[in-house]
């Protein structure tokens, strides 16, 4: 079977597909509401499904943080509306109860890390951009792509249901360490909620596997003529490394969770040994297991996971930044190389989450070295973004502002990573607000800023309309300033030793000084959350009422997605797929503002 025939996916499907295109130029599916919006196999629709599901999750997860910030800022106050809203079990007398507080922080972490910044971010942009930017009609396997979304939705539904079970959702922290997570008797949150958490995460792993296999094989196999790997936009490179990280790290989490499930229900002792439960006054027979084993398995996923979050954001930012600085990205190969280095190092640093578990100090020092090595590719990338901006002809579109904001938070959050990567400093800094501040800025805020940059930038391609700029600028400035005002003070709290995961610091003399600061953080958090609703409004309003996009290439960009029709059908390009003749960053070259990738090299022009 020849290469040509294998190129476009299923051999048996391809013949009809291609014939179709040649005859009519465009795709004429018989589309019903169900096939177009629900069980769609079009990568663009699947991407929107991921995006909107992710947005719903972001609102839920963000609202949870508002609730626990209320508690942290005003531990003595009685908010009657909380009891009215949540019932007397969770918010007795208008005060958040301890079990509920832990459920809130656990689910906030789970939702934001997995459902928003992994499913929502990669799911949206890998689906949307990979086929459009490499010049493919769709993913290699549209069916698997659809299944990937449906497993994601199934996982979402299960996780969402867990919020409503009588004993509450999982509440042992988003890392769900045993023995707490393995013993239903140990806390309410370790009962049914924990089982649902495990099942939902297993479905999530399936979804991510189906999606990632597709992304990888699409990028490798379906690039259009002339689209060599070094002509790929950096977004595609970033999504490629992200997919590989996902394929190799999520299965380890799955193994860890299977063992956890056995510990919970089959009487095994993989993670359990020598345990006495106070609530039931019982000594457990379990012997020989190791709770640390779970931490190794979890963080073997958990660390690559943070790069699964940040790499797509990096890719989106690189692309947005080059387009809006009207300059080629600085150091294209260095960007690819540093992403490759990050992808490799991602697998070699997991134990830096475990410095204080009793890890052998010698082993710890190896992990310190490897962890600090990540500073090198990260710094290369930051340098390249700054030099891309340098003397650029910058257009401050909302997407560009978010991209610049990303670089800002990535620097300030990344620098504290150097503190935490040292096992000696980690002895005093671990499990304090310093850690909270670090990972929220470098991963949470940066990830979401990158995602916003992507949404604002590609919204015209997704819906054929623009988002409202005024609302976008308000959204940006309040979000960026708000994020810094929330997380910057947490560094000071952390350096003063304030531990994370406590619901009330007021009866702790040492931390009384932070009472006012905590109120301040909570107030800013509520404002920042409210502004996100402004974004949500802008998003949905603009889908229906936004200013129409009138030209194919509104940003004057070089990449292939802007050569497709304003509202591309299934198949993306009517007629032939465009051929590529140059790299994606020919901005301000030879006096031209930009030269699309489809333009052949001129006779006096040399390839990049």
Binding site for other proteins (CB under 8 A): 1-4, 6-7, 9-12, 134-135, 140-141, 144, 209, 212-214, 216-218, 220-229, 231, 247-252, 254-256, 258-259, 262, 266-270, 286-290, 293, 296-297, 300, 579-580
- Residue 4 Cβ vs other proteins, minimum distance, rounded to whole Å: 7
- Residue 209 Cβ vs other proteins, minimum distance, rounded to whole Å: 6
Written as six digits, the tokens of 587 are 């901005």
How many Cβ atoms sit within 10 Å of the Cβ of residue 428?
12
Closest to other proteins by CB, 290 vs 506, is 290
How many Cβ atoms sit within 10 Å of the Cβ of residue 37?
12
Q: Which helix (H) or strand (E) holds 244?
A: helix 234-265
Q: Which helix (H) or strand (E) holds 283?
A: strand 282-283
Cβ–Cβ under 8 Å, residues 185 and 277: yes
Closest to other proteins by CB, 93 vs 575, is 575
Closest to other proteins by CB, 297 vs 380, is 297
- Residue 6 Cβ vs other proteins, minimum distance, rounded to whole Å: 3
For residue 352, which of 368, 331, 334 has the smallest C-alpha distance?
368
- Residue 514 Cβ vs other proteins, minimum distance, rounded to whole Å: 41
Q: Which helix (H) or strand (E) holds 538?
A: helix 515-545
- Residue 536 Cβ vs other proteins, minimum distance, rounded to whole Å: 35
Closest to other proteins by CB, 83 vs 305, is 305
- Residue 249 Cβ vs other proteins, minimum distance, rounded to whole Å: 8
Cβ–Cβ under 8 Å, residues 566 and 555: no
Closest to other proteins by CB, 98 vs 226, is 226
Cβ–Cβ under 8 Å, residues 346 and 245: yes
Instruction: Name 499's bridge partners.
Output: 432
559 three-state secondary structure = coil
Closest to other proteins by CB, 409 vs 598, is 598
277 three-state secondary structure = strand
For residue 371, which of 329, 419, 313 has the smallest C-alpha distance?
419
- Residue 579 Cβ vs other proteins, minimum distance, rounded to whole Å: 8
Q: Which helix (H) or strand (E) holds 594?
A: strand 592-594
Closest to other proteins by CB, 247 vs 356, is 247
Written as six digits, the tokens of 87 are 């019932």
Q: What is the largest CA-CA distance in the chain?
A: 85
Cβ–Cβ under 8 Å, residues 475 and 338: no
Closest to other proteins by CB, 3 vs 281, is 3
331: left (phi over 0), alpha (psi -120 to 50) or beta: left
- Residue 341 Cβ vs other proteins, minimum distance, rounded to whole Å: 20
Q: Which helix (H) or strand (E) holds 589?
A: strand 587-589
Closest to other proteins by CB, 264 vs 465, is 264
Cα distance between residue 297 and residue 450, in whole Å: 29
Closest to other proteins by CB, 226 vs 554, is 226
Cβ–Cβ under 8 Å, residues 377 and 370: no
Q: How many CA atoms lie within 13 A of 53 on its CB side?
A: 29
- Residue 9 Cβ vs other proteins, minimum distance, rounded to whole Å: 6
- Residue 181 Cβ vs other proteins, minimum distance, rounded to whole Å: 16
DSSP state of 93: G
- Residue 393 Cβ vs other proteins, minimum distance, rounded to whole Å: 30
Closest to other proteins by CB, 229 vs 601, is 229
Cβ–Cβ under 8 Å, residues 72 and 86: no
């Amino acid at each position: 079977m020849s290469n040509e025939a294998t190129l476009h996916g299923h051999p048996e499907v391809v013949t009809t597909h291609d014939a179709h295109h040649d005859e009519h130029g465009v795709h004429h599916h018989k589309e019903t509401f169900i096939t177009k919006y629900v069980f769609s196999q079009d990568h663009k629709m699947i991407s929107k499904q991921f995006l909107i599901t992710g947005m719903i999750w972001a609102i839920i997860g963000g609202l949870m943080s508002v609730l626990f910030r209320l508690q942290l800022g005003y531990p003595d106050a009685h908010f009657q509306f909380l009891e009215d809203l949540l019932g007397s079990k969770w918010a007795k007398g208008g005060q958040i109860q301890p079990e509920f507080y832990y459920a809130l922080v656990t689910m906030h972490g789970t939702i934001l890390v997995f459902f928003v910044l992994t499913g929502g971010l990669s799911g949206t942009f890998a689906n949307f951009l990979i086929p459009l930017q490499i010049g493919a009609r769709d993913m290699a396997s549209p069916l698997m792509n659809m299944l990937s979304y449906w497993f994601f939705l199934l996982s979402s539904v299960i996780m969402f249901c867990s919020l409503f079970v009588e004993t509450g959702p999982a509440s042992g922290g988003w890392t769900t360490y045993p023995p707490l997570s393995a013993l239903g008797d140990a806390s309410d949150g370790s009962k049914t909620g924990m089982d649902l958490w495990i099942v939902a995460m297993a479905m999530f792993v399936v979804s991510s596997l189906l999606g990632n296999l597709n992304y990888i094989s699409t990028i490798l196999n379906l690039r259009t003529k002339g689209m060599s790997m070094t002509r790929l936009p950096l977004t595609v490179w970033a999504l490629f490394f992200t997919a590989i990280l996902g394929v190799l790290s999520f299965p380890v989490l799955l193994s860890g969770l299977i063992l956890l499930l056995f510990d919970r229900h089959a009487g095994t002792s993989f993670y359990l040994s020598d345990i006495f439960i106070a609530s039931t006054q019982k000594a457990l027979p379990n012997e020989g297991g190791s709770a640390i084993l779970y931490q190794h398995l979890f963080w073997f996923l958990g660390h690559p996971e943070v790069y699964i979050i940040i790499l797509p954001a990096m890719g989106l930012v690189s692309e947005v930044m080059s387009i809006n600085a009207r300059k080629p990205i600085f150091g294209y190969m260095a960007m690819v190389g540093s992403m490759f280095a990050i992808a490799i190092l991602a697998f070699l640093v997991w134990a830096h989450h475990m410095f204080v578990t009793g890890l052998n100090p010698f082993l710890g020092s190896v992990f310190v070295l490897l962890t600090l090595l990540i500073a090198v590719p990260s710094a290369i990338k930051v340098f390249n973004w700054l030099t891309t901006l340098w003397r650029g002809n910058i257009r401050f579109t909302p997407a560009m502002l978010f991209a610049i904001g990303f670089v800002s938070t990535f620097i300030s959050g990344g620098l504290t990573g150097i503190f935490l990567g040292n096992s000696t400093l980690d002895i005093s800094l671990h499990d304090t607000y310093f850690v909270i501040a670090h990972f929220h800025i470098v991963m949470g805020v940066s990830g979401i800023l990158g995602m916003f940059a992507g949404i604002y930038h590609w919204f015209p391609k997704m819906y054929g309309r623009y988002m409202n700029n005024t609302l976008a600028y308000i959204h940006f400035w309040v979000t960026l300033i708000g994020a810094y005002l929330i997380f910057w003070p947490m560094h000071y709290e952390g350096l003063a030793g304030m531990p994370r995961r406590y619901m009330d610091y007021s009866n702790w003399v040492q931390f009384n000084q932070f009472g006012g600061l905590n109120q301040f953080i909570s107030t800013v958090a509520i404002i920042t959350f409210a502004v996100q609703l402004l974004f949500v409004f802008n998003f949905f309003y603009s889908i229906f009422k936004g200013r129409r996009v009138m030209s194919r290439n509104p940003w004057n960009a070089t990449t292939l997605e802007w050569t497709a029709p304003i509202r591309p059908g299934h198949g993306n390009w009517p007629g032939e797929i465009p051929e590529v003749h140059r790299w994606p960053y020919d901005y301000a070259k030879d006096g031209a503002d930009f030269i699309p990738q489809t333009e052949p090299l001129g006779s006096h022009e040399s390839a990049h």
